[in-house]
Amino acid sequence: MALSRPVKYQIRDNPNSDFCCVPQCAMSGKFNSCVSFHHFPKDETLRKVWIRNVRRENLVIKRTTTVCSRHFIDTDVIPGGRRRLKEGAVPVLFAWNNYSLLPDELPEEMDVELLLQCHDYDGKPEPSALDMACEKIEAQQLVIEELRKRLNEVTLKQSFGLERFSHVFLGTNHKIAPLQAKV
C-alpha cells in the first residue's frame, strides 16, 4: 500500500509574483517557468471579450491582473525568449470546457437515415409538464366531488336520525315549560 504524500512544488530560480485570474486556475509564476502570463489588452472591445470569456463580470483589472498561457491556443502564443500573444488573441481554453475547443465544422455529408431518426416530425409530441399537471388536477377534482357526495350522504343520514326524534324533544320541552312556571 502506497502512502500518499503532499505534493511540493520546486520554486523556480527567477520567481515572479504573477498569477492567473481565471476561476479554477491555480497557475503561479512562483513555481512554473513554462507558463507565461499576459496582461489584459488596452482595446476596450477586446478587453470585454476577455472578461466575458474568463467569466468574471465584476473583475477589477489592475496592472497585476493576468491570464496564463494555458488559456490560449498554441498558435496565439508567439514562442521565443519573451512569450507574447498575437494581436487579437483571446483566452478560450478553460477548466469548464476541458481546455478544448468545440469542433467548428460539421461533417459535410450526413446520412439521411440518421437525420430522419433524429427528427421524427411525424411522431406525436410528448406531453409537457403543464399538460400532466392539468390531468392530475382534474383527477383530484373528481376525487373531491366524490368525497363531497359521500359527506352529504352521511350528514343527511345523521340529520334524518335526529329529526325523527325532534318532536319528542320539542314536546317534552313544551310540557316541561308549564311545569316550571308553576314551581
28 shares its domain with 92: yes
134 shares its domain with 62: no
Give the domain extent around 92: 9-101
Q: How many helices (H) and strands (E) does the chain have?
A: 4, 4
Mean pLDDT of 36-55: 85
pLDDT recorded at residue 1: 46
Q: Please report whether residue 107 resides in a domain.
A: no
Task: Please tell me whether residue 169 adopts helix, strand or coil conformation.
Answer: helix
Task: Please tell me whether residue 3 adopts helix, strand or coil conformation.
Answer: coil
91 shares its domain with 139: no
Q: Which of 68-77, 78-87, 119-128 has the lowest mean pLDDT?
A: 119-128
Query: Is pTM, for the whole model, over 0.75?
Result: no
Residue 10 neighbours by CB under 8 Å, 6+ apart: 31
Q: What is the mean pLDDT of the chain?
A: 73
pLDDT recorded at residue 43: 87
